[in-house]
Amino acid sequence: MKKNSKIFWLSMAAVVGLSACGGDDDAAPSNQVKLDGKTIKFDEADLGSSFDLEGELGTYSYHEFFLTSEGLTMSETGNLSGSGDMVAFGLISESTSELQEGTYELKLNSEIGDVDYFEVYSNLSESGPDTYYAAYRGTVKVSKSGEDRYTLTFNIDIFTSQTESEQEEFVDGALKGNYKGTVDVITSSGTRKHSGSITKGKKSFSWE
């Protein structure tokens, strides 16, 4: 009886140990993302929104997030300064007056309730990025805790990369991670309006 009991508890300990190890491996990094062998740690987040929009798909509001690393900052008017990495994406909310919480899907032809575009700019400065990444499939989950605090969780699995010297090519791997914290509101910016499909090409930014 004692022998069986000892085997049972040793087996349970092994299961718990394996579960703990698996949890560490599967956990998404906090306040950062990893892409193409590079880690982007978020230092701040900004949000520009357009409300009461109407188009072919109906009525909606449009929201653009800009998550930047240390060294790259965005002013309340949407102008950039410095240099660093940026993750930028647009969300199409069913509500005309707010960004609804939930999971937004990125797909070839975006609709209301989807991600319109998802882009990553590596080492972005006024002269442009070293590498530009465009996503084509995945999800962004949005939740709020307070007026200006968000949790944004990313799970993107199809990317292409492009540099000035190299043509566009698919990236082997996925982007996972999140941002948890305060999001500053952009009071005036050149946010892109929803066009009915994922916006191709680099975004033009204003610099201070």
Q: What would the pLDDT profile of 27-49 be if each residue is shown by its tens digit?
A: 555 899 988 888 999 999 999 99
Q: Which residue has the higher pLDDT, 96 or 200?
A: 96
24 located within any domain: no
Count other Cβ atoms within 10 Å, centred on residue 159. Answer: 23
Q: How confident is the model at residue 147 (pLDDT cuts 50, 70, 90)?
A: confident
Is residue 16 in some structural domain? no
For residue 35, give the nearest of 133, 178, 162 by alpha carbon.
Answer: 133
pLDDT at 70: 96
**Domain annotation covers residue 95:** yes
Higher pLDDT, 80 or 167: 80
**Mean pLDDT, the chain, integer:** 82
For the chain, give the percent of residues with pLDDT over 70: 79
Q: Is residue 54 part of a domain?
A: yes
Predicted confidence at residue 36, as pLDDT, reads 87
User: At residue 38, what is the residue type?
Assistant: K
Number of domains in the chain: 1
Q: Residue 14: its pLDDT value, please?
A: 37
- 4: pLDDT strictly greater than 60: no
Q: 153 lies in which domain range?
A: 31-207
Query: 9 lies in a domain?
Result: no
Q: Is the pLDDT of residue 10 over 80?
A: no
Report the pLDDT value the prediction gives residue 29, as an integer from 0 to 100. 57
List of residues 6+ apart from 4 with CB closer than 8 A: none
Write out the two tokens for 146.
């307070």
Distance CA 119, CA 111 (A): 18
> What pLDDT sits at residue 3?
45
Of the two residues 65 and 193, the one the predictor is more confident about is 65
d(CA 12, CA 20): 12
Residue 128 lies in a domain: yes
Instruction: State pTM to two decimals.
Output: 0.82
* Domain membership flag for residue 18: no
pLDDT at residue 130, rounded to an integer: 94
pLDDT band for 164, please (50, 70, 90 cuts). Answer: confident
Confidence of residue 24 (pLDDT cuts 50, 70, 90): very low
* Alpha-carbon gap, residue 138 to 22, rounded angstroms: 23
Residue 16 DSSP symbol: H
Q: Decide if 2 is inside a domain.
A: no
H helix or E strand, kind and range, residue 9: helix 2-26
